[in-house]
Amino acid sequence: MTAAARSAPDRLLAVLAAFDHGHPALSLSGISRRAGLSLTTAHRLVGALTAWGALERDADGFYHVGLRLWELAALAPRGLALRQIALPYLEDLYEATHENVQLAVRDGSEVVYIEWLSGRSAVGVHIRVGARWPLHATGVGLALLAHETPEFQQDYCAGPLASFTPYTVTDPDRLRRSLAEVRRTGAAVSSRQVTDDALSVAAPVRGAAGQVVAAVSVVVPEADAQVPVLVPAVRLAARGISRALGWQPDGTAGRAG
């Protein structure tokens, strides 16, 4: 589809989509190029977004995402609102382990990290808030995928499974067995799947109706990981967040899955 054939909302969203973790600051020409828009159209849309507060222009003429979008994001129940509820439990988990602690939600076939507390361990994987990874390659992703519908799991396992290290699980049958183990134990263990020095232990977080809405994990060096110690600590944090979200573990709602 040509730029001229795109609707006004599509062009506006294309400007915002030009920004990502690799491109947090862009010139007007950079926005034009990455959004696939003419310089004139980009200038008009960037001006409107800047006036509204969605973008901000620095002294060097580069544009950044503005605070107005941050204010809107704070209203998202799966974003900053969830983070605020979960943060005390994430901090408790950090104090108990002094390891990297993270909170993530599912967006399509990926996990999106909405909080990361950096621990003392120097592992190769460095996650930033807003970063994305495929579901099958991370502990939080496995915890989320394991509690999706059978249809979603089937479609995911049938699709391409990206490999990041020699240890990344890319065999569909092996992945299905891993998901069954997550459901059986209530925790996911992902070893050396993203980098060859890191291991993560994750557990699902449930909402008021019992549905899995997020996952919490710790990431530690694989060489000296104490998995039997980490699993109950992570499950306790996930359970605390779930209760804070209104989940009743003795209730009947959402017990399946």
2 pLDDT exceeds 50? Answer: yes
142 pLDDT exceeds 90? Answer: yes
DSSP state string for 11-59: HHHHHHHT-BTTBSSB-HHHHHHHHT--HHHHHHHHHHHHHHTSEEE-T
222 three-class SS: helix
Say what the pLDDT of residue 82 is: 86
Q: What is the DSSP pairing of strand 212-221 with strand 198-206?
A: antiparallel
What average pLDDT score do residues 230-254 get? 86
Residues 133 and 194: beta-carbon distance below 8 Å:
yes
Those residues whose C-beta lies under 8 Å from the C-beta of residue 144, and which sit 6 or more positions away, are 104, 105, 106, 111, 135, 204, 212, 214, 215
Residues 205 and 212: beta-carbon distance below 8 Å:
yes
pLDDT band at 126 (very low <50, low <70, confident <90, very high): low
Say what the pLDDT of residue 256 is: 38
Decide which of 122 and 188 is more confident: 188
Query: Residue 201 belongs to what H/E stretch?
Result: strand 198-206
pLDDT band at 30 (very low <50, low <70, confident <90, very high): very high
pLDDT in tens, 173-212: 999 999 999 999 999 999 999 888 889 999 999 998 999 9
Q: CA angle at residue 9 from 7 to 10, to 5 degrees?
A: 65
75 three-class SS: coil
pLDDT in tens, 63-98: 999 988 877 876 666 666 788 899 999 999 999 988
Tokens 């549905």 correspond to 211
pLDDT band at 242 (very low <50, low <70, confident <90, very high): very high
Q: Which amino acid is at 134?
A: P
How far apart CA 155 and CA 251 sit, in angstroms, is 31
Tokens 């989320």 correspond to 144
Q: How much is the mean pLDDT over the chain?
A: 88
